[in-house]
Every structure is written in structure tokens, then in C-alpha cells.
Amino acid sequence: MNKTHNKTSALIILSHQMDSNGELDKETFARIELAIELYKRKKFDFIITSGRDYKDNSDIKIGEAVAEIIKDRYSIAKNKVLVDVLSRDTVGDAFFLRRNVLTPHGINSVTIVTTNYHVQRTDMIFKKFFLPNISVTTVGAKMALDNLEELLDHEKKSYLSFLATFDKVDLSNDRAVINTLSLKHPFYNGEVYDKLNAY
């Protein structure tokens, strides 16, 4: 007898940047617009946003700013929008969303929306954190960018840095990931932002 496996799906919007007043940049809006287009085309159980208050002169969390736009401007029901505000980068997006949002809600299929130049790194990082339990599809909003070559070079270096930071770390072990972030990652170990305290 064949068993059917129910899929609980989510559309994840990765934020880019905003100013201290909570105004989102054009790149974030391009991601939101693509996500809404996908949401209207296919049934997703949830839309998820993430991102912390990364501006020194503002306590507005970018994940919440994106969520408010989605609910207000596009009339998405509040109970369909989930937010996590611990992430400080793509690695944090993958880990904290898995731990704080996807696992508690039983989500096992995601489509991640970012920008075209960021698709490859996003896809590789999320798959390392999500597979085999959560299926991953990554899509990118198309933008004409003058500094595309520079961005792609940064993406490559960032991915190699990720591999070095998490070398031999069991990414399925939340405690091991948090320990590594808080000791080795400059966005979480106190070098750039406050030291991570998320046990």
C-alpha cells in the first residue's frame, strides 16, 4: 500500500536592505514582487520573512518591515505570514528559519526568493541546512546591476568562507551550529554586531 506524504509549503523572501526609517530598497521590493507573483500562481501554506534590526540608529527589524508590506499592500492574511528576526545573513536565514519557523510549523517544502546574482549561493547554503527533510527551490528576481561581476566575486568568496567556517560541523545539530556562529562568524561572534545569545 502506497503512503502519501503531505507537503506543507512555504515561500521564503530573503530581505536585502532598508534605511533607518524602515524604507526597503529596490532590490528587496523586486524580491517581494516576484514572491507575490509566485504566491498568486501556486498555493503556498505560508510566506516567510527574516532579518534583524541591523541599523545602529534604528530598532526596526527588516523581516518585520517586509512582512508588514506583504500584509498591508498585498492583502495577505496575517496568519499566512511568518517572521523570524534573528538572522543577520544568508547562513543565519537558513539556520534560524529551520529552527524557529519551519520545524515548529512542520514545513517540508520551500521556495526561496532572492535576487538573480544571489541564487546559487543561497541554494547551496539552504540545501546544506535543509536536505533531506525539507525540499528546496531557489529563484531570483531579475535586476540589471552595474556591479554584477563584483557581486558574483563576493558571492564566491562568501560561500568559500561559509565552507571554511562550518568545516566538520554537523549542520543538523542546532547546538553545534550556534556554537560555531558565536565563535567563528563575524556577524555573530561580536566582531560586527553584538555577540549571539540564542540558546
Q: Which residue has the higher pLDDT, 194 or 179?
A: 179
Region of 182 (left: φ > 0; alpha: ψ -120 to 50; beta: rest) is: alpha
Sole residue written with cell 532598508: 18
- Nearest partner of 42 among 70, 6, 10, judged by Cα: 10
Quick one: pLDDT at residue 43? 87
With a CB cutoff of 8 Å and minimum separation 6, the contacts of 82 are 10, 46, 47, 48, 49, 101, 105
Q: In the predicted model, is pLDDT for residue 69 greater than 50?
A: yes
- 155-164 mean pLDDT: 97
The alpha helices in 42-147, defined as continuous H runs, are: 62-73, 90-97, 103-105, 119-130
Q: Which of 52-66, 84-98, 125-139 has the lowest mean pLDDT?
A: 52-66
Nearest-10 crossing angle of helices 119-130, 90-97: 30
pLDDT of res. 118:
97
**Can you tell me whether residue 76 is helix, strand or coil?**
coil
Written as nine digits, the cell of 144 is 540589471
**pLDDT for 188 beyond 60:** yes
Q: Enter the DSSP assignment of 9.
A: E
Q: Is the pLDDT of residue 50 over 70?
A: yes
The cell numbers describing 110, all together, are 520551500
Determine the Cα–Cα distance for residues 63 and 92; give it in Å rounded to an integer: 13
Q: Report if pTM > 0.85.
A: yes
pLDDT band for position 157 (cuts 50, 70, 90):
very high
- Report pLDDT digits (tens) over 70-127: 999 999 999 999 999 999 999 999 999 999 999 999 999 999 999 999 999 999 999 9
What's the chain's average pLDDT?
A: 93
* pLDDT band with cut points at 50, 70 and 90 for residue 198: low
pLDDT on residue 4 = 41
Task: Return the pLDDT at 199.
Answer: 55
Give whole-number Cα distances, 38 to 11, 29, 124, in Å.
8, 14, 21
Evaluate whether 30 touches 115 at the Cβ level (below 8 Å).
yes
Angstrom CA distances, 59 to 18, 21, 85, 89, 106, stand at 12, 9, 11, 17, 30
The residues, any chain, with a CB within 8 Å of residue 30's CB and separated by 6 or more, are 115, 141, 142, 143
Q: Is 143's pLDDT higher than 70?
A: yes
Stretch 159-186: mean pLDDT, rounded?
Answer: 96
pLDDT above 80 (res 55): no
Compute the distance between CA of residue 136 and CA of residue 138 in angstroms, rounded to an integer.
7
User: What pLDDT does residue 1 have?
Assistant: 38
